[in-house]
């Protein structure tokens, strides 16, 4: 039995709706119905078990594809494709925010006409998040521009903010786009998600193809719902072994980027598999995929499984169909890591691949710590930091800035009990440790921003940060020094005033 994708693709010349390309009904995952479906049943559709046959006698080996290839094949209505091919794909979701939205809208109107309508008002998600809590007039104007467009186009998903003095007064406002996309159910296995932001690859954690594009490409998608993409070959990263209690996904991805360099995955897909990956929560998988771009990767993927399906329960009413790499799929290269042997790492200034063991940087005096962003400002990131502060019981020695990624994260910080604390919330633990009060959710100082951005680095100083980049000037000042780290390492460093291995507090 050939793959259901190829069978359906040979159907009539009439347009085959994407859902029809999927396997017959039982394999579809319907929102709200039983999610107890075992993943192995879906895998049987993708790569059926059969007696071995000589490769030359069948086409099935030739069309063995990786996850990324399969997603792009389905999105471009192709039976099979190979890395290097340029294909037109149907886009399932297009995301933009306040920084690139106005430019994208400008191009859309210029090229398709002032009265043009977007290709699908339910597939465009517009999320102001970058320069929100600022008095910068142009930044504020840019939120107005995207609002006007959303009203004009009747965009279904626009997470608006009007009252900048109190984020809680804005019921629609979410915060950081990549975390909001996940929390609001816009990330679904098997789909194609494009966004005007390089960390759009974050959504690959859901087993979908997600990557960042520029304003012009996005303007084109707004008008046509299609994008021309080049199929990337896939590098497979097999992570096995029990995750030590002092490591987080941030350590894993910094380890990988340090291994392959900031251009090691250029034009390639990064697929994360193995027992360790399977043990990660969705938020941890997001952290992993989030920084694929820092290795130059086009996209990152984690195969969808029960963890994924459970996370999606109640979040989306749109059907989805996961895909999985064929057993005989060809990968560009393989990397294998025994996670049990890894240690906490940092990326030293000024490159995300400038990897060093945290314990080897213990003499680096720091001036501040920043915990936030799509990479390191999710609920579990704050729970992790709180765990270290709790274990220590002491106060931080340097200003410690906390910026929850979204409203939901902010609420979790103020309501979720931290395990082992006797019912204390993260916010209480942070207060007792002397951290700054958790700030309004947004991208914040991860990328510097307007001068009055909270926690922006306006003088040269040394910062340990849970963010994603540390190139010169990233957080504001060109001579600032940024050490990228996990929330455990960031919290440990705040407690000592030096770059610190979290084992000093967790073991």
Partner 1 sequence: MAAAPSATAVSTAALVAPIQAPTSAFLRRTQLTRHRLHSLKCRRAGPIVPAAAAAAAGSSSPSSAVFHGECFVVGDNIDTDQIIPAEHLTLVPSKPDEYRKLGSFAFAGLPSAAYPTPFVAPGEESSRYAVIVGGANFGCGSSREHAPVALGAAGARAVVAEGYARIFFRNSVATGEVYPLELTEAGACKECKTGDVVTVDLGNSVFINHTSGKEYKLKPIGDAGPVIEAGGIFAYARKTGMIASKAAA
> Segment 346-405, which members bind partner 1 (CB under 8 A)?
351
For residue 88, the SS3 value is strand
For position 216 contacting partner 1 by CB under 8 A, the verdict is yes
Interface residue with partner 1 among 28, 39, 112, 360 (CB under 8 A) is 112
Nearer to partner 1, 197 or 504 (CB): 197
Nearer to partner 1, 400 or 468 (CB): 468
- CA–CA separation, 133 vs 440, rounded Å? 8
For position 156 contacting partner 1 by CB under 8 A, the verdict is no
User: Whole-number minimum distance, CB 446 to partner 1, in Å?
Assistant: 9
Contact 243, 284 (CB under 8 A): no
Task: Say how many CA atoms lie within 13 Å of 221 toward its Cβ.
Answer: 30
User: In 60-136, where does DSSP find H-type helix?
Assistant: 67-75, 101-112
User: Whole-number minimum distance, CB 42 to partner 1, in Å?
Assistant: 27
Site string for partner 1, 287-306 (x = CB under 8 A): ------xx-x-x--------
For position 458 contacting partner 1 by CB under 8 A, the verdict is no
For position 7 contacting partner 1 by CB under 8 A, the verdict is no
Nearer to partner 1, 77 or 436 (CB): 77
- CA–CA separation, 163 vs 142, rounded Å? 15
For position 127 contacting partner 1 by CB under 8 A, the verdict is no
- CA–CA separation, 91 vs 47, rounded Å? 25
Q: Which two tokens stand for residue 144?
A: 């107005």
Interface residue with partner 1 among 128, 175, 189, 212 (CB under 8 A) is 212
Q: What is the DSSP string of 345-397?
A: EEE-TT-TT-EEEGGGGTT-B-SEEEEEHHHH-SHHHHHHHHHHHHHH-S--S
Site string for partner 1, 59-98 (x = CB under 8 A): ------------------x------xxxxx-x--------
For position 414 contacting partner 1 by CB under 8 A, the verdict is no
Closest CA to 461 of 451, 439, 476: 476
Site string for partner 1, 181-200 (x = CB under 8 A): ---------------xxx-x
- Strand intervals (E) in 157-240: 157-158, 192-195, 209-212, 226-230, 234-240
Task: Give φ, ψ of 116 to 5 degrees.
Answer: -65, 155
Site string for partner 1, 26-65 (x = CB under 8 A): ----------------------------------------
Interface residue with partner 1 among 48, 59, 214, 245 (CB under 8 A) is 214
Name the residue with tokens 């990326």.
347
For position 424 contacting partner 1 by CB under 8 A, the verdict is no
User: Whole-number minimum distance, CB 86 to partner 1, in Å?
Assistant: 4
Question: What dihedral angle (degrees, nearest 10) is formed by the CA atoms of 457, 458, 462, 468?
Answer: 30
80 forms beta bridges with none
How many residues contact partner 1, by CB under 8 A? 75
Interface residue with partner 1 among 6, 238, 267, 278 (CB under 8 A) is 267
Closest CA to 69 of 298, 369, 350: 298
Interface residue with partner 1 among 224, 281, 316, 421 (CB under 8 A) is 224
User: Whole-number minimum distance, CB 305 to partner 1, in Å?
Assistant: 29
Interface residue with partner 1 among 8, 80, 118, 273 (CB under 8 A) is 118
For position 258 contacting partner 1 by CB under 8 A, the verdict is no
Nearer to partner 1, 193 or 247 (CB): 193
192 forms beta bridges with 209
Interface residue with partner 1 among 70, 74, 130, 408 (CB under 8 A) is 130
Query: H/E element holding 300?
Result: strand 299-301
Contact 289, 203 (CB under 8 A): yes
Nearer to partner 1, 47 or 261 (CB): 261
């Amino acid at each position: 039995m050939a793959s259901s994708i190829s069978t359906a693709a040979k159907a009539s010349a009439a347009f085959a709706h994407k859902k029809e390309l999927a396997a017959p009904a039982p394999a579809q995952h319907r929102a709200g119905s039983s999610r107890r479906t075992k993943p192995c049943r879906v895998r049987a559709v993708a790569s059926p078990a059969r007696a071995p046959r000589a490769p030359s006698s069948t086409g099935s080996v030739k069309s063995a594809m990786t996850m990324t290839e399969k997603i792009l094949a389905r999105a471009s209505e192709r039976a099979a494709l190979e890395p290097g091919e340029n294909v037109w794909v149907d886009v399932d979701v297009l995301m933009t925010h306040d920084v690139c939205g106005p430019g994208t809208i400008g191009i859309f109107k210029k090229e398709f006409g002032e009265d043009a309508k977007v290709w699908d008002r339910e597939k465009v998600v517009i999320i102001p998040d970058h320069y929100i809590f600022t008095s910068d007039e142009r930044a504020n104007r840019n939120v107005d521009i995207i609002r006007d467009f959303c009203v004009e186009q009747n965009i279904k998903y626009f997470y608006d903010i009007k009252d900048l003095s109190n984020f809680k007064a804005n019921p629609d406002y979410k915060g950081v786009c990549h975390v909001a996309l996940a929390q609001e159910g816009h990330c679904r296995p098997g789909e194609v998600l494009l966004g005007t932001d390089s960390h759009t690859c974050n959504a690959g954690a859901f087993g979908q193809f997600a990557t960042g594009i520029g304003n012009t490409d996005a303007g084109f998608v707004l008008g046509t719902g299609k994008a021309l993409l080049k199929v990337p070959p896939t590098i497979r990263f097999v992570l096995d072994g029990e995750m030590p209690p002092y490591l987080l996904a941030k350590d894993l991805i910094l380890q990988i980027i340090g291994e392959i360099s900031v251009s090691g995955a250029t034009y390639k897909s990064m697929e994360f598999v193995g027992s360790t990956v399977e043990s990660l929560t969705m938020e941890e998988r997001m952290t992993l995929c989030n920084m694929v771009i820092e290795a130059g990767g086009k996209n990152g993927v984690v195969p969808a499984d029960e963890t994924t399906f459970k996370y999606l329960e109640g979040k989306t009413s749109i059907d989805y169909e996961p895909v999985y790499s064929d057993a005989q799929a060809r990968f560009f290269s393989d990397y294998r890591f025994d996670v049990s042997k890894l240690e906490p790492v940092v990326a030293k200034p000024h490159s995300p691949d400038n990897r060093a063991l945290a314990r080897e940087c213990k003499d680096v005096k720091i001036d501040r710590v920043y915990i936030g962003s799509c990479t390191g400002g999710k609920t579990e990131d704050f729970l992790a930091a709180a765990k270290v502060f709790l274990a220590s019981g002491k106060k931080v020695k340097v200003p410690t800035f906390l910026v929850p990624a979204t409203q939901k994260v902010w609420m979790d910080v103020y309501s979720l009990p931290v395990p082992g604390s006797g019912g204390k919330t993260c916010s209480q633990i942070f207060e007792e440790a002397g951290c700054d009060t958790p700030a309004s959710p947004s991208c914040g100082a991860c990328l510097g921003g307007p001068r009055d951005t909270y926690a922006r680095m306006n003088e040269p100083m040394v910062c340990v940060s849970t963010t994603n980049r540390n190139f010169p000037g990233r957080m504001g000042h060109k001579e600032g020094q940024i050490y990228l780290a996990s929330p455990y390492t960031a919290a440990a460093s705040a407690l000592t005033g030096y770059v610190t291995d979290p084992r000093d507090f967790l073991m």
